[in-house]
């Protein structure tokens, strides 16, 4: 375990920016190798540092990693050090000879970027690219290499995913990762290719359908999700877990990192602005960069309170932290922005719109109260907010809002709702207890205890819920 408590498990290493294609959606705008690329000696030394840091697996990418002549040697060194190696390639150079060589050098899995049926794939990438990918898959299958495909979804190919699925199955591909095309690099120059937020649901529906079908293992990338039933079930099937596999926040800087062609270390190779570079292995050892107490602060210090829009008040925010930071950065200009491509966020906005057309505050309160036992606190909160608009001085609405906001982890909103309830009825011990708990969760422990003690006294010490909350706050339970 590294000294700062963060143990990296995986990394992505862009071994070169050199590429033999000019893909329309390339996020790095790859062409020829860039100045400063690590030498073979430097790269092999970095392989040793990666092992010393305790990584379990690493992905070699680019550019096109096989345009770098020593990539097989890097695979061999990493594998010898006990690090499992995956490579992502466009397949053009993955001949029978190359497949045999990387197999001998210990490759664990090899994935080919493939973005459509033959016509569409070649249009996006290069004439003949699909046929080269087909041959590459065949060559890897001959060598017994575990194969995968990676598809970047844009408006160019979202309509042919089912046809592409059949192509991949026919080629014997074992697994398939799909990811959203984000407006960076070449794709930034083609905004008409970028999906609309609502289309992420179509992607999730397709992933769910494919997962349940069971003919090919499909993995939605970290930019897709996050808490809809279909998304969770897809991930459960993909990772073969007994329960839903919940998104636990971005791996960058906490469980993984990225390496650029020149040895720059950052949290994620997609978030590559200079401000996110934590150091360079030519200047400091990899372990020193990782263990620096100031490194990866943007991710390690990310908190719900730093988010904006609907993400800030989402019931999953403390765990999710807004989903993929690069989605927010490329779409909205900030890693703290609201994630408009979150399917859960989309569903909440639709519900808020639905409630805005209801003019019966009492019906809204009753509906919210029916949702609370089901644990649907976020939706209940939307219904109550509309009820508050209709009846701004109804104590019952604020009491219920205090509870739902607390359960959503929105302690400031919880405090405000209970304060309003107490303004309407200063002797309401339920609202008083809710206020105390909100203060406690906001770090105002002494004030919270005073308020809770007062609530217990006013109830005559007979309210079991207040007594339990008081014991919780004093550490007695």
Q: What is the pTM of this model?
A: 0.89
Closest C-alpha to 455, from 430, 425, 421, 420: 430
Alpha helices in 27-85 (DSSP H): 40-53, 71-80
* Per-residue confidence in pLDDT tens, the chain, 477 aa: 566 789 999 999 999 999 999 999 998 888 889 999 999 999 999 999 999 999 999 999 999 999 999 999 999 999 999 999 999 999 999 999 999 999 999 999 999 999 999 999 999 999 999 999 999 999 999 999 999 999 999 999 999 999 999 999 999 999 999 999 999 999 999 999 999 999 999 999 999 999 999 999 999 999 998 888 899 999 999 888 776 667 889 999 999 999 999 999 999 999 999 999 999 999 999 999 999 999 999 999 999 999 999 999 998 999 999 999 999 999 999 999 999 999 998 988 888 888 888 999 999 999 999 999 999 999 999 999 999 999 999 999 999 999 999 999 999 999 999 999 999 999 999 999 999 999 999 999 999 999 999 999 999 988 999 999 989 898 854
In the β-sheet with 57-61, what is the strand arrangement from edge to edge?
Answer: 217-220, 175-180, 146-153, 109-113, 84-89, 57-61, 10-14, 256-259, 264-266, 277-280
3-state DSSP assignment of residue 453: helix
């Amino acid at each position: 375990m590294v000294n700062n408590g963060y143990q990296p498990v995986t990394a992505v290493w862009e071994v070169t920016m050199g590429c033999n294609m000019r893909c329309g959606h390339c996020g790095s705008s790859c062409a020829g190798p860039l100045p400063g690329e690590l030498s073979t000696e430097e790269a092999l030394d970095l392989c040793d540092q990666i092992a010393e840091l305790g990584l379990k697996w690493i992905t070699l990418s680019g550019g096109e990693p096989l345009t770098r002549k020593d990539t097989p040697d890097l695979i061999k060194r990493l594998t010898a050090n006990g690090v499992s190696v995956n490579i992502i390639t466009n397949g053009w150079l993955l001949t029978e000879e190359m497949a045999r060589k990387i197999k001998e050098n210990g490759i664990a899995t090899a994935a080919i970027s493939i973005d459509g049926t033959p016509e569409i794939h070649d249009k996006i990438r290069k004439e003949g690219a699909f046929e080269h990918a087909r041959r590459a898959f065949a060559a890897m299958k001959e060598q017994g290499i575990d194969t995968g495909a990676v598809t970047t979804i844009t408006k160019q190919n979202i309509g042919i995913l089912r046809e592409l699925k059949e192509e991949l199955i026919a080629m014997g591909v074992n697994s398939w990762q799909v990811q959203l095309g984000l407006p960076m690099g070449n794709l930034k120059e083609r905004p008409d290719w970028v999906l609309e937020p609502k289309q992420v649901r179509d992607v999730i529906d397709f992933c769910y359908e494919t997962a349940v079908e069971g003919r090919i293992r499909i993995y939605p990338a970290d930019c897709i999700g996050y808490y809809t039933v279909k998304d969770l079930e897809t991930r459960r099937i993909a990772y073969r877990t007994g329960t839903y596999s919940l998104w636990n926040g971005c791996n960058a800087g906490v469980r993984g990192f990225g390496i650029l062609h020149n040895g720059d270390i950052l949290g994620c190779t997609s978030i590559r602005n200079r401000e996110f570079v934590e150091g360079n292995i030519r200047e400091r050892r990899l372990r020193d960069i990782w263990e620096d107490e100031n490194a990866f602060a943007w991710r390690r210090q990310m908190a719900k309170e730093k988010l904006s829009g609907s993400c800030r008040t989402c019931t999953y925010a403390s765990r999710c932290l807004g989903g993929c930071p690069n989605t927010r950065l490329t779409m909205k200009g900030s890693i703290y922005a609201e994630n408009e491509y979150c399917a859960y966020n989309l569903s909440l906005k639709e519900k808020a719109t639905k409630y805005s057309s209801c003019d019966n505050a009492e019906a809204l309160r009753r509906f919210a109260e029916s949702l609370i036992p089901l644990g649907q606190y976020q939706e209940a909160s939307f219904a109550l907010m509309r009820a508050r608009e209709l009846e701004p001085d109804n104590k019952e609405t604020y009491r219920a809002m205090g509870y739902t906001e607390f359960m959503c982890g929105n302690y400031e909103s919880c405090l405000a709702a209970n304060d309003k309830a107490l303004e309407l009825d200063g002797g309401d011990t339920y609202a008083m207890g809710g206020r105390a708990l909100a203060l406690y969760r906001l770090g105002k422990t002494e004030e919270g205890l005073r308020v809770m003690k007062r609530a217990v006294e006013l109830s005559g010490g007979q309210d079991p819920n207040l007594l339990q909350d008081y014991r919780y706050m004093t550490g007695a339970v």
